[in-house]
Amino acid sequence: MRKINEFVKRTRRLKVHLLILDHLKKQFGWFSKGKTQQKLLANLAEQFRQIAKEHNLNLRSDFPNPTRFREVIGQFDLSKFPKMKPKFIESLTDILEKDIPKLMESLPSMTVSSGDDEEGDAANPFALMESGTDAALSGAKGWVVNSTDKARFDVDFHKLSLVGGKASGQQVMVVMQKSGLSRDTLKKIWDLSDIDRDGKMDHEEFALCNYLIQMVQNGNAIPPTLPIRLVPPGKRKLLEFN
């Protein structure tokens, strides 16, 4: 499972790097190419935000450090880079959204060991309601949904018909109803999970939704609001790069 997760992470990063180069390449016109490159690299963090929003990507975990990326890419003339072929991105997307889920389905069910970094906190969601240092947490390491559960939730997510990386509310509702929980309970879970209030769910919101369902099935109450460690990394307000 760790090797699969690492492969997925590396493939996602490759896809993001290709999207970055393609995005920057498209900004060049016929003239003042040197000034255009300087302007783009000086405002690289904003370029990353535009790409993340357009392609529904996780700004914190999927993108490289802008300072380091600027140092490396600044050694090249971006205007001379070859034009990106859509089939490259499509192939990587198929791997992530079709091939990996199929592979996960073929694997025997796995038992999560107690040694996972997030297991202790995930087992007792009420411990997450405490304020304090949790507010300083950032990235996937501060999320209660551990990598094993996230991979399992992703399999179910990618079985749905996605548009722009998101599943419709109707599709997610069908999945949620399979839990057997009451309509009122599912409504509360939806309200907490649909963080951007667009009536759809991306992979992080879907994972949170499933986590909350399991939490209730295990006898825990639904929190009135989401503590920071229940909020998916890509949905936290602090999206600034370190």
Q: What is the pLDDT of residues 130-152, one digit of tens each?
A: 333 333 333 445 788 988 889 88
pLDDT of residue 98 exceeding 50:
yes
pLDDT for the residue 73? 86
Percent of the chain with pLDDT over 90: 17
Percent of the chain with pLDDT over 70: 79
- Both tokens of residue 138? 């950032």
| Banded pLDDT at 206 (limits 50, 70, 90) | very high
| Identity of the highest mean pLDDT range in 82-96, 126-140, 177-191 | 177-191
Spatial contact of 162 and 200, defined as CB atoms under 8 Å apart: no
Spatial contact of 179 and 210, defined as CB atoms under 8 Å apart: no
Spatial contact of 162 and 97, defined as CB atoms under 8 Å apart: yes
Spatial contact of 54 and 89, defined as CB atoms under 8 Å apart: no
Mean pLDDT, to the nearest integer, of 89-94? 86
Higher pLDDT, 99 or 213: 213
The answer to which of 5-19, 130-144, 196-210 has the lowest mean pLDDT is 130-144
Contacts of residue 226, defined as CB under 8 A and 6 or more positions apart, other chains included, come to: 192, 195
The answer to which of 13-17, 67-71, 126-130 has the lowest mean pLDDT is 126-130
Burial of residue 97 (number of CB atoms within 10 Å: 0-12, 13-18, 19+): middle
pLDDT for the residue 123? 33
Spatial contact of 213 and 176, defined as CB atoms under 8 Å apart: yes
pLDDT of residue 211 exceeding 60:
yes
Spatial contact of 204 and 235, defined as CB atoms under 8 Å apart: yes
Chain Cα centroid distance, residue 165: 10
Q: What is the pLDDT of residues 32-58, one digit of tens each?
A: 778 888 888 888 888 888 888 888 776
Q: What is the pLDDT of residues 15-35, one digit of tens each?
A: 888 999 888 888 887 777 788
Query: What's the alpha-carbon Rg for the chain, to the nearest Å?
Result: 20
Spatial contact of 89 and 20, defined as CB atoms under 8 Å apart: no
Mean pLDDT, to the nearest integer, of 175-198? 90
* pTM to 2 decimal places: 0.46
18 membership: H or E segment, kind and range: helix 2-25
The answer to which of 13-17, 102-106, 163-167 has the lowest mean pLDDT is 102-106
Residue whose entry in the numeric block shows the structure tokens 């357009």: 54
Higher pLDDT, 4 or 119: 4
Higher pLDDT, 95 or 241: 95
Residue whose entry in the numeric block shows the structure tokens 């700004």: 59
The letter for the amino acid at 198 is: D
* Phi and psi based region of residue 146 (left: phi greater than 0; alpha: psi -120 to 50; beta: remaining): beta
Higher pLDDT, 212 or 106: 212
Residue whose entry in the numeric block shows the structure tokens 């509310």: 169
